[in-house]
């Protein structure tokens, strides 16, 4: 099985298969489940399903058509074209100067939704990523060139703009409430496999799916409405005709719908769209100023809890929002802004949908007692100064781009905001790349000297022997040159 973004012929996959297979195997024996769930109710009569015919002709003809008529005109196709340099086999091009790179155009198709009548469109970032040219095709088959207002890889959302020449386009409203429930009916609208606009229906199968691994802020709506390649970026619509999510990925053996689709919830969509309309080139997200971890069964036992619940505060950043709110290491966060949290992904998502300066309440447990705490979010601090530069000279670092880590830089790079030191953001294509440095490496020591700032590396010019200590994926690595 694969978890894939239903975008184009080049399907993308995730490492989600094994946990799901394990879950299915655990739930595959109905007899075992029945025995485990009803040992004390063996003599109780089973509830009979209520069966009755439709009460009238009107009930027989109930239809989703009114919702489709309201929503579908605002759903669009997004065509992305990329120019790719392709190396030609010298054997076949021997007589024509073979081996010369050629350019070819690679296209992909996704979906999107118009969210403002002057031509603002929201879609998935992976639909438009790396595109040299974008076209948006409306429901009435008119085509418009599009430009990117904002692309946010961390949420896998992008906001586009087309020019309808003063015409007011149909709009699909982004839901302003986050009250979807498991079992709610939904529609998925998009252009699967390029066959043309298609509507499918299903229910919300699950909420707050946070272990998917597709984006930095996983908190997906799961639906069984059939979603296929080409549906990426299209809306998940509720029975009021509002967009409650953006369809982003499917879980499937073959890449086609298997009844397990994932959509980015409306609060994140609204946050990214508001950032784009505010003129921002990126989404400025606040931070909590605390490192958290999910409370599993083992952690719950060590904390004296009768069951896993909440999220453990493992570390508090000095002077950060959590510190000023009075949070301490060892506190258990039970809810944020009225939403219960049971894993680290939920905390990250809720904070990421807020703005710097927003204030809300947390419910925490400390010393066996529940209490309320008020917190005001802010931007991650940008101290020390960024000082990003590409290193020159005759060293193993030549050609590498490095930067001073701060909570702000770490957040931008998707790294742990508690990390400090100097990080490699690009090894380049020169000596540093040949030496084996990778993006994300943190340089800790050079020839026994601690490296705390980019300036420390920049002052190193020559040495007969290089002994470098770096941190890679949480492991310390020593290399000698």
Helix (H/G/I), strand (E/B), else coil: 120: strand
At 323, which CATH number?
Answer: 2.30.42.10
- Strands 389-390, 369-376: pairing is unpaired
Which range, 76-85, 213-222, 259-268, has the best average confidence (pLDDT)? Answer: 259-268
By the 8 A CB rule, do 348 and 217 touch? yes
Question: Residue 24: inside a domain, yes or no?
Answer: no
What are the tokens at 169?
Answer: 């386009």
Give the end of a domain, one of 348, 376, 404.
376
Question: Residue 63: inside a domain, yes or no?
Answer: no
Residue 255's domain comprises 185-277
Question: Residue 153: inside a domain, yes or no?
Answer: yes
Closest by Cα among 411, 404, 402, 401 to 384: 404
Question: Residue 54: inside a domain, yes or no?
Answer: no
What are the tokens at 421?
Answer: 């030191």
Question: Residue 247: inside a domain, yes or no?
Answer: yes
Closest by Cα among 423, 396, 398, 403 to 481: 396
Shared domain for 90 and 138, answered yes or no, is yes
Give the end of a domain, one of 218, 248, 277.
277
**pTM of the full structure:** 0.77
What are the tokens at 468?
Answer: 């470098």
Tell me the average pLDDT across 27-37: 31
By the 8 A CB rule, do 294 and 344 touch? yes
What element of type H or E holds 186? strand 185-190
Beta strands per DSSP E along 43-153: 75-86, 102-116, 120-124, 133-137, 143-145, 147-152
**What's the CA gap between 333 and 353, in Å, rounded?**
18
pLDDT at residue 179 in the model: 81
pLDDT at residue 297 in the model: 86
- Residue 21: pLDDT above 50? no
Beta carbons within 8 Å of 183's beta carbon, 6+ residues apart: 203, 204
Question: Residue 179: inside a domain, yes or no?
Answer: no
**What's the CA gap between 8 and 136, in Å, rounded?**
16
Shared domain for 468 and 395, answered yes or no, is yes
Whether the bond into 288 is cis, omega within 30 of 0: no
- Residue 89: pLDDT above 70? no
- pLDDT tens across 346-381, in order? 888 889 889 999 998 999 988 888 899 999 999 999
Question: Residue 248: inside a domain, yes or no?
Answer: yes
Question: Residue 140, exposed/middle/buried by CB under 10 A (0-12, 13-18, 19+)?
Answer: exposed
Tell me the average pLDDT across 35-49: 39
Question: Residue 27: inside a domain, yes or no?
Answer: no
Shared domain for 273 and 295, answered yes or no, is no
Shared domain for 246 and 306, answered yes or no, is no
- pLDDT tens across 6-15, in order? 443 333 333 3
At 240, which CATH number?
Answer: 2.40.10.10
**pLDDT band with cut points at 50, 70 and 90 for residue 42:** very low
- pLDDT tens across 236-276, in order? 999 989 999 999 888 776 666 778 889 999 999 999 999 99
- Supply the residues annotated as catalytic: 126, 156, 232
Shared domain for 153 and 194, answered yes or no, is no
Shared domain for 232 and 304, answered yes or no, is no
**What's the CA gap between 239 and 27, in Å, rounded?**
31
Number of domains composing the chain: 4
Tell me the average pLDDT across 403-415: 88
Shared domain for 251 and 328, answered yes or no, is no
Closest by Cα among 127, 353, 135 to 248: 127
**What's the CA gap between 134 and 85, in Å, rounded?**
19
pLDDT at residue 462 in the model: 61
Calculate the average pLDDT of the chain: 81
- pLDDT tens across 115-138, in order? 999 999 999 999 999 888 999 999
Alpha helical stretches, state H, 327-430: 344-352, 407-413
- Residue 96: pLDDT above 90? no
- Residue 325: pLDDT above 50? yes
Cα 313 to Cα 26, 292, 297, 328, 416: the distances in Å are: 31, 5, 16, 7, 15
- Residue 37: pLDDT above 60? no
Residues forming a β-bridge with 332:
312, 365
What element of type H or E holds 318? none
Shared domain for 416 and 372, answered yes or no, is no
By the 8 A CB rule, do 171 and 113 touch? no
């Amino acid at each position: 099985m694969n978890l894939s973004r239903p975008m184009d012929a080049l399907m993308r996959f995730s490492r989600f298969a094994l946990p799901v297979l394990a879950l299915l195997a655990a739930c595959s024996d109905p007899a075992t489940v029945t025995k485990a769930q009803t040992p004390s109710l063996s003599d109780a009569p089973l509830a009979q399903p209520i069966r009755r015919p439709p009460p009238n002709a009107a009930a027989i003809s109930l239809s989703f058509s009114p919702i489709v008529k309201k929503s579908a005109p605002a759903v669009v196709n997004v065509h992305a074209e990329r120019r790719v340099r392709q190396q030609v086999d010298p054997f076949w091009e021997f007589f024509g100067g073979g081996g010369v790179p050629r350019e070819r155009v690679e296209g992909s198709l996704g979906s999107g939704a118009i969210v403002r009548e002057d031509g603002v469109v929201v879609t998935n970032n992976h639909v438009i990523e790396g595109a040299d040219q974008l076209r948006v095709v409306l429901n009435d088959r008119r085509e418009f060139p599009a430009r990117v207002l904002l692309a946010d890889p961390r949420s896998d959302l992008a906001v586009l703009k087309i020019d309808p020449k003063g015409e007011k386009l149909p709009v699909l409203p982004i839901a302003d409430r986050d009250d979807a429930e498991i079992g709610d009916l939904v529609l998925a609208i998009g252009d699967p496999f390029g066959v043309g606009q298609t509507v499918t229906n299903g229910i919300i199968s699950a909420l707050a799916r946070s272990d998917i691994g597709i984006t930095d802020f996983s908190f997906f709506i799961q639906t069984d409405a059939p979603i296929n390649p080409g549906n990426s970026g299209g809306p998940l619509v509720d029975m009021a005709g509002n967009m409650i999510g953006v369809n982003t990925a499917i879980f499937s053996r073959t890449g086609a719908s298997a009844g397990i689709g994932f959509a980015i919830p409306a609060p994140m969509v609204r946050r990214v769209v508001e950032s784009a309309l505010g003129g921002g080139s990126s989404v400025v997200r606040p931070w909590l100023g605390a490192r958290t971890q999910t409370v599993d069964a083992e952690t719950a036992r060590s904390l004296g809890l009768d069951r896993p619940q909440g999220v453990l505060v493992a570390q508090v950043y000095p002077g950060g929002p959590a510190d000023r709110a009075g949070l301490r290491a060892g506190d258990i966060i039970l809810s944020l802004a009225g939403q219960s949290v049971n894993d680290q992904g939920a905390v990250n998502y809720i904070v990421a949908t807020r703005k710097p300066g927003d204030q809300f309440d947390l419910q925490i447990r400390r010393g066996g007692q529940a209490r309320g705490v008020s917190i005001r979010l802010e931007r991650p601090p940008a101290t020390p100064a960024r000082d990003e530069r590409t290193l020159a000279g005759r060293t193993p670092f030549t050609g590498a781009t490095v930067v001073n880590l701060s909570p702000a830089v770490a957040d931008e790079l998707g790294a742990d905001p508690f990390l400090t030191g100097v990080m490699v953001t690009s090894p380049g294509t020169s000596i540093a790349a040949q030496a084996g440095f990778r993006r994300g490496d943190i340089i800790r020591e050079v020839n026994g000297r601690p490296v705390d700032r980019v300036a420390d590396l920049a002052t190193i010019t020559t040495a007969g022997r290089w002994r470098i200590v770096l941190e890679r994926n949480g492991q310390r690595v020593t290399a000698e040159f």
